């Protein structure tokens, strides 16, 4: 019987352009890792390592991974279990790469594995939502993509109804995160209007439906046209110095589309091949000018969160 578990949960792109609060895309090769060991003491976070570790709360009641783990245990008759936890952040804080979602997913899945539960995706997402809520409110586009991998559609949150879309073709992502730019999800949401004109939301809906279809059928030309966010991107672009130039650099270097990852400041580019993603990443970094940035190039990952050996 397991008493400990180590889980890796990948980063993800929320919204994926037009799919505001609906689409999520799982990014390969980067994520958060949470290790849990059951013990006789109280819940405790032993260590937080990696990116922005100093800014991650050590209190179990304020830490996404710990809250998600506790939520899972309490909901599954394991309320008596106590854990010690180590968190290794591969994803930066408030970067728009789904870091709080990944930590929450990893915390929930590590807790499930530590108590030997083969938990359903809905049970894990429910627990992870409790973890992410402390950071960025109730939404699960990043949670769904990090847990399930691939492209996900969040149809409803209450009850949770999430669809994983099987993709065709090869899809690569370039993520560029400017240093010293932090955007809180809540603040980024406050920039968005509470209501939208009919023509505007119908356009957004059309692009989202077309984008899902394009990714599931391997239609690159359609990705080029449909990866077009007219809702959040124009309103949030000013939060990211040089965004217009960065986007232009990506599109001029082989990317099929480029937009803000989640609520930013990370900018993502989607490409149909490694070379185009790599060139886009380099050009995007250059376009940020004097602003230093970190970069990640990876495949869209069909595999989501998983236990490590």
Regarding 263 and contact with a second copy (CB under 8 A), the answer is no
172-178, strands of its sheet edge to edge: 257-260, 267-271, 172-178, 293-299
Q: Which of 184, 217, 275, 286 binds a second copy (CB under 8 A)?
A: 217
Of 216 and 278, the one with the shorter C-beta distance to a second copy is: 216
Q: Is residue 127 a contact residue for a second copy (CB under 8 A)?
A: no
Distance of CA 5 to the CA centre of its chain: 22
252 contributes a contact to a second copy by CB under 8 A: no
Binding mask 11-50 for a second copy (x = CB under 8 A): --------xxxxx---------------------------
Binding string to a second copy for residues 145 to 184, with x set by CB under 8 A, is what?
--------xxxx----x-x-xx------------------
Q: Using alpha carbons only, how large is the chain's radius of gyration in Å?
A: 19
Answer whether 238's CB lies under 8 Å from 264's CB. no
194 binds a second copy (CB under 8 A): yes
CB of residue 120 vs a second copy: minimum separation in angstroms? 16
Contacts of 297 (CB under 8 A, 6+ apart): 172, 173, 174, 175, 274, 277, 278, 281
Distance (Å, rounded) from C-alpha 306 to C-alpha 105?
10
Q: In 3D, which of 222, 306, 168, 251 has the Cα closest to residue 18? A: 222
For the chain, report the end-to-end CA distance as a whole number of angstroms.
15
Question: How big is the site for a second copy, counted in residues (CB under 8 A)?
Answer: 37
* Segment interacting with a second copy, rule: CB under 8 A, options 40-48, 112-120, 210-218, 299-307: 210-218
Binding status of residue 212 toward a second copy by CB under 8 A:
yes
Binding residues for a second copy, per CB under 8 A? Answer: 19-23, 153-156, 161, 163, 165-166, 192-198, 201-210, 212-213, 216-217, 222, 225-226
């Amino acid at each position: 019987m397991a008493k400990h578990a180590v889980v890796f949960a990948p980063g993800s792109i929320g919204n994926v352009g037009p799919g505001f609060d609906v689409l999520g895309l799982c990014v390969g090769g980067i994520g958060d890792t949470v290790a849990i060991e059951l013990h006789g003491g109280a819940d405790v976070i032993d260590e937080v390592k990696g990116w922005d570790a100093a800014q991650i709360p050590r209190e179990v009641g304020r830490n996404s991974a710990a809250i998600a783990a506790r939520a899972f245990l309490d909901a599954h008759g394991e309320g008596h279990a106590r854990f010690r936890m180590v968190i290794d952040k591969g994803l930066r804080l408030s970067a728009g790469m789904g870091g709080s979602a990944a930590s929450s997913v990893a915390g929930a899945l590590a807790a499930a594995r530590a108590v030997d539960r083969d938990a359903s995706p809905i049970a894990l997402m429910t627990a992870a939502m409790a973890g992410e809520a402390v950071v960025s409110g109730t939404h699960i586009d990043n949670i769904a993509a990090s847990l399930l991998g691939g492209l996900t559609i969040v149809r409803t949150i209450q009850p949770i109804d999430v669809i994983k879309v099987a993709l065709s073709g090869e899809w690569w992502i370039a993520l560029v995160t400017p240093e010293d730019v932090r955007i809180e999800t809540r603040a980024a949401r406050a920039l968005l209007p509470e209501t939208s004109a009919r023509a505007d939301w119908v356009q957004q809906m059309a692009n989202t439906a077309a984008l899902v279809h394009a990714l599931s059928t391997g239609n690159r030309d359609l990705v080029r046209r449909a990866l077009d966010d007219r809702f959040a991107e124009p309103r949030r672009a000013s939060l990211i110095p040089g965004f217009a130039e960065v986007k232009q650099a990506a599109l001029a270097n082989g990317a099929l589309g480029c937009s803000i990852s989640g609520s930013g400041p990370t900018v993502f580019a989607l490409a149909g091949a490694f070379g185009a993603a790599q060139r886009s990443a380099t050009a995007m970094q250059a376009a940020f000018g004097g602003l230093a940035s970190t970069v990640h190039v990876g495949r869209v990952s069909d595999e989501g969160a998983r236990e490590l050996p």
